[in-house]
A and B are shown apart, each in its own frame.
Chain A
Amino acid sequence: MTEAFVQDFEARAGTATAEGPEWLEPIRRSAMERFARTGFPAARDEEWRFTPIGPIAQGTWRPALGGAGEVTREQLAPFVFGHADWTTLVFVNGIYHEALSTIGTLPPGARVASLAEALRSDGALLHGHLARHAPVEGSPFTALNTAFLSEGGVVHVGTNVDLASPVHLLYVTTAEAGGTVAHPRNLIVVERGARASVIESYVTLAPGQAYWTNPITEVAVAAGAWLEHTRIQRESETAQHVGLTHVDQQRDSRYRSFSLAMGAALGRHNLHVRLHDENIETLLYGLYVTRGDQTADNHTAIYHDQPNCRSWEVYKGILDGRSRAVFNGKVFVKPEAQKTDAKQTNRNLLLSDGARVDTKPQLEIFADDVKCTHGATVGRLDEMARFYARSRGIPAAAADLLLTYAFAAEVVEEVTLAPVREELDRLVRSRLGGL
């Protein structure tokens, strides 16, 4: 199957999707060579042991080619948080769609553009960041994304600039996405002392389609900067989604992430955060809600390289049907990273007998003066709480719904932006079956 990608790669030479500054082509090419050498992860690969990538590895995937003709703004309305005025880059079947996008008023020093546009006009910025945060050696999926890198969103927030309203990168698929693969590549750079909120959504207008999204987002949070990053994965439940977010944080910076995964047959997200300096705060919240035969797979890795940093991670899952969740939470604390304060929690709620969770904390701590804890639970609805609610007149089914929602609400509450939080809340409620 690897060969097909090499052929696609060679076929695109000379087309618009292979354009870009001179320095980029060698990066793409060596990424392609790397993937051609490694192929997809083998079954014995520890990082992918619980991840059913068979349908991806054995599938035949055509490059996503847009096909935006019939998509309207009305169709996108459910995905924009009631804020059509927010700067929103819309990608239809992997390709940037200018007419559906909105570039709202941005403060001076802030810039939001499609990757293609940024490659033309912001070469220096991209040269400094693109493919520098997410190494191609990281995984074959990263290599493949890098080889085909051409579409995506770029958010650049200059020194001390406060991006007043959020920027939304909205990836939407239509019926034409069937059988295709897209490799979105996003770059978020928040310079010294700047503040920003970025939302990344992967949604569909064609719930029955089988396609594959292979996105990467590289994030640089400079000294003293603040970034809230919300990631929403609501792909078609027959689609494949394997994504990576790599974050590099500098001194005194704060990064706050919320990741919601409800879609895809396989929805895998790797979130890697490296804390390069002192006094950094990293908050990672996650929620996955699965049913049927879905798999939600979250791999997070937090690298405490320097002293006096704090990371706090809470991932929760609600599983129904015969669905499956994988959680792997790595925390690496280097010998010099004294006074590290790291806490990791993964809690899972099983709504059915057929659902399954593989949860694995992986703490590797080489400093001695640290506070690092982790906890993982897999359980069912609390019978006591259920009876308590029923004893107050709330019928059993409504009580179950209430308690399930409450389980999710505890983490949704952590989203600081009210319109985003309210929309996520609504999404979760409707997914759980009303309320």
Chain B
Amino acid sequence: MLEIRDLRASAGDKEILRGIDLTVNAGEVHAVMGPNGSGKSTLAQVLAGHPAYVVTGGSVRYRGQDLLDLEPEERAQAGVFLAFQYPVEIPGVTNAYFLRAAYNEIRKARGQDEVDSMDFLDLLEEKLKLVDWEPAIMSRAVNAGFSGGEKKRNEILQMAVLEPRLAILDETDSGLDIDALRIVAAGVNKLRRPDNATIVVTHYQRLLNYIVPDYVHVLSNGRIVKSGGKELALELEARGYEWLEDTVGAAS
């Protein structure tokens, strides 16, 4: 589904991703961990097409296409979804309007009919249940004045409605209380299918108890320095990152 080869990216003069290799197959869940500032969000944003980052090398293939060649909206229409570490507030646009606009754009791009607001409400009602939320949230402006946890939950709601093939969750667990964490994780698990894949960026082993990864990768200083199974997360929990950073230091 996703093949990242020697991906390099910079913001301004600063090289942030310094050669990333990562392959994600359909049906898999990959966890990406690593210290603050190691480039996890940058990787996620580059995959989503954020214009602040310039790809300076490498390639990304997504379902047979050159992902880097696509506009951000085209990536979304092709099934890529990024749950932002810091979801953006859009005052003046209701959550319902925004989500329906997105839903319809994606349908349009796939040659499907747009849905009217009544049909969309039905769909929404069902998806709201998935994240255990009241409809009132839909008439508020997108993320405006939402609590940290509400913003994260809103990302999962959007994901549930847009049904991506490749979901990238950037620290969706941070700022969530235990109950919300369970709800969000259950939402993600319910959306798991053999033909889609998930990349979970997280700092905490705790989330991985709920969303069990097939692979765990450690990103440090713009590179993946270690990959392993889910037990790697436990090891990181116990030992921290320092031992890995040292390996990188010695290697370079």
Contacts and interface: CB of A to CB of B under 8 A. Distances in A.
Interface stretch (A13-21, A270-278, A382-390): A382-390
Interface in B40-99: 48-52, 71-73, 75-77, 81-82, 84, 87-93, 98-99
Given A394-B102, A405-B92, A388 B51 contact: no
B109 interface: yes
A392 B162 contact: yes
A398 B105 contact: yes
Contacts of A71: none
Interface in B136-163: 141, 158, 162
A299 B91 CA distance: 26
A394 B92 contact: no
**Max chain B C-beta neighbours (<10 A), residue from A382, A394, A396:** A394
A391 B50 CA distance: 8
Given A389-B98, A392-B98, A393-B109, A384 B88 contact: yes
A403 B89 CA distance: 11
A383 B72 CA distance: 13
B158 A406 contact: no
A33 B99 CA distance: 62
A393 B102 contact: yes
A395 interface: yes
B110 to A, nearest CB: 10
A393 B93 contact: no
B101 interface: yes
Contacts of B101: 394, 398, 402
Contacts of B99: 392
B73 A390 contact: yes
A122 interface: no
B185 interface: no
Interface residues of A, number: 25
Interface residues of B, number: 32
A383 B73 contact: no
A402 B104 CA distance: 14
Contacts of A382: 88
A393 B106 contact: yes
A410 B92 contact: yes
A390 B75 CA distance: 9
Contacts of B82: 391
A383 B51 contact: yes
B83 to A, nearest CB: 10
Contact of A396 (B73, B91, B106): B73
Contacts of A399: 73
A206 interface: no
Contacts of B72: 387, 390-391
B88 A385 contact: yes
Contacts of A398: 101, 105
A398 B77 CA distance: 14
A384 B89 CA distance: 9
A407 interface: yes
Given A392-B98, A392-B162, A406 B105 contact: no
**Max chain B C-beta neighbours (<10 A), residue from A382, A393, A394, A413:** A393
A390 B76 contact: yes
Nearest to A390: B72
A398 B93 CA distance: 13
Interface of A: 382-385, 387-396, 398-399, 402-403, 405-410, 413
Given A383-B52, A393-B102, 5 more contacts: A393-B109, A395-B105, A403-B93, A405-B92, A408-B92
Interface of B: 48-52, 71-73, 75-77, 81-82, 84, 87-93, 98-99, 101-103, 105-106, 109, 141, 158, 162
8 contacts: A387-B50, A388-B84, A390-B71, A391-B48, A393-B76, A393-B77, A394-B101, A413-B92
Ranked nearest first, the 7 interchain pairs of A and B with the lowest CB-CB distance are A406-B92, A393-B76, A392-B102, A388-B88, A390-B72, A393-B106, A409-B92
